[in-house]
Amino acid sequence: MRDLLMIPGPVDVDAEVLQALSAPVLGHLDAGFIATFGRALKRLREISLAPSAQPFVVSGSGTLAMELAVANLIEPGDRALVVNTGYFSDRMAHILERHGAKVTHVRAPPGGAPDAAQVEAELARGGFKLMTVTHVDTSTAVLAPVESLLKVANKHGVLSVVDGVCATAGEAFHQDAWGADVYLTASQKAVGVPPGLALLTVSPRALDTWRKRKAPVASVYADWAEWLPVMEAYEAGKPSYFATPPTSLICALDVSLGQILAEGLEARFERHRRMARAFRAAWSALGLRLLPTSEALAANTLSAVYYPEGVDASLVGRVKAQGAAIAGGLHPELKTRYFRVGHMNRVTTGDVLVTVGAVERALHSGGYRASASGTAVAAAQAALST
Ligand code: PMP
């Protein structure tokens, strides 16, 4: 039986993207590949709405994208402020500390997010070089108020790194207009490509900070000095080599980015909002509570939903048996108390209805009957019809 892949990454990808992966492997010096890589880099810049930024595409996962940002911007002893909304903010802090940063956290209880006033209170103490924000923390489905957070970082002259792994090309983000220094992501979520690529767009100010650093970057593979000439060369239509690029994945990335731009970023953000609203209508009709503590903080790329009384993590397996693969919890404090459903990339109204139906049947088969059969599907359907 074919299950619908509805975990928060990796996600289902389009047939044309898969087709690109099944084409004969190209060498990194092939003229066709050079043109494709150059176009993919330009497209990445467009996806981040960052005409002034330098794109980087490197073989690796989202964690490497985080390290590519931190390793180049942090020198031992620098102070960094982590706007902490969950598991992936903790990971960012871990990477920052490994590269010698002194980290201060601004935290909120799970499901919440620090607001701009709380962050500003910290930044106003002075001495911070860098602020990090997880655009959507995949462990809590919290959408950080990133635009207002970036405003305070810029007011205080602090560099910013935004982890968009669970957001880029799904949640609205305007890198240049909002003044983010690094927007980073990975290929396997709303960008619509299988796992394997770390993607960054870096502002001129961040590159300038990196150029002026005194301490060497503590990783050869993560050093922008190795990658920048490669990215510049391919964008200029010339080959260059530091470490073998994942040619097939880059061809697939180019296809997916082309599709994203053809859909239109605003239309794509709106589609993600619409699907998320339909899921939320269904969860509410089932009497289920979300982790995010307010509608404004609820991500459009995934849902994180508490199990109701009497239901445990075995629900995930029962939903799978009903045809939809979803995920359990991830936040260390709440792991066993909630499930997650990804709704990004090519998510359609059909996917919403199938998934909601599978969750509803799985809840009923497990004895949870807070609503009549079909109530959740009807609520999603109603939300999709408005
Ligand atoms: N940041 C966020 C917000 C994520 O969701 C993830 C992955 N789920 C990562 C970072 C790390 O990415 P990867 O697993 O690709 O290393």
Same domain, 117 and 246: yes
Query: How far is residue 162's CA from residue 169's CA, in Å, rounded to a whole number?
Result: 14
Q: Whose CA is nearest to atom 12 of ligand 1?
A: 62
Is the pLDDT score of 381 beyond 70? yes
- On whether 346 is known to bind a ligand per the annotation, the reply is no
100 CB-contact burial (10 Å; exposed 0-12 / middle 13-18 / buried 19+): middle
Domain finish residue from 229, 263, 297: 263
Is the whole model's pTM more than 0.95, yes or no?
yes
pLDDT band at 386 (very low <50, low <70, confident <90, very high): confident
Same domain, 359 and 297: yes
Question: Can you give the pLDDT at residue 355?
Answer: 98
Please, what is the average pLDDT of the chain?
97
Same domain, 269 and 373: yes
Number of domains in the chain: 2
Percent of the chain with pLDDT strictly greater than 70: 100
Q: What is the mean pLDDT of residues 365-376?
A: 89
Q: Using a 6 Å cutoff on CB, does residue 61 contact ligand 1?
A: yes
Same domain, 143 and 226: yes
DSSP string, 31-47: HHHHHHHHHHHHHHHHH
Q: What is the mean pLDDT of residues 185-190?
A: 98
* Residues spanned by the domain of 253: 15-263
* 28: its two tokens: 């990194």
Residue 42's CB: how many other CB atoms inside 10 A?
13
Question: Can you give the pLDDT at residue 370?
Answer: 81
pLDDT tens per residue across span 3-21: 899 999 999 999 999 999 9
Query: How far is residue 33's CA from residue 133's CA, in Å, rounded to a whole number?
Result: 34
Same domain, 277 and 375: yes
Q: Using a 6 Å cutoff on CB, does residue 134 contact ligand 1?
A: yes
Q: Tell me, what CATH number does 320's domain have?
A: 3.90.1150.10
Same domain, 225 and 339: no
pLDDT tens per residue across span 23-38: 999 999 999 999 999 9
pLDDT tens per residue across span 296-348: 999 999 999 999 999 999 999 999 999 999 999 999 999 999 999 999 999 99
* 346: its two tokens: 């090519």
Same domain, 252 and 322: no
Q: 303 has which bridge partners?
A: 341
Of the residues 7, 166, 330, which should be mutated to test ligand 1's pocket, given the most ligand atoms within 8 Å of the CB?
Answer: 166
Same domain, 241 and 280: no
Please tell me the distance between residue 88's alpha carbon and the centre of ligand 1 in angstroms.
7
Is the pLDDT score of 2 beyond 90? no
Question: Can you give the pLDDT at residue 1?
Answer: 63
pLDDT band at 65 (very low <50, low <70, confident <90, very high): very high
Q: Using a 6 Å cutoff on CB, does residue 330 contact ligand 1?
A: no
Same domain, 207 and 252: yes
Question: Can you give the pLDDT at residue 3?
Answer: 87
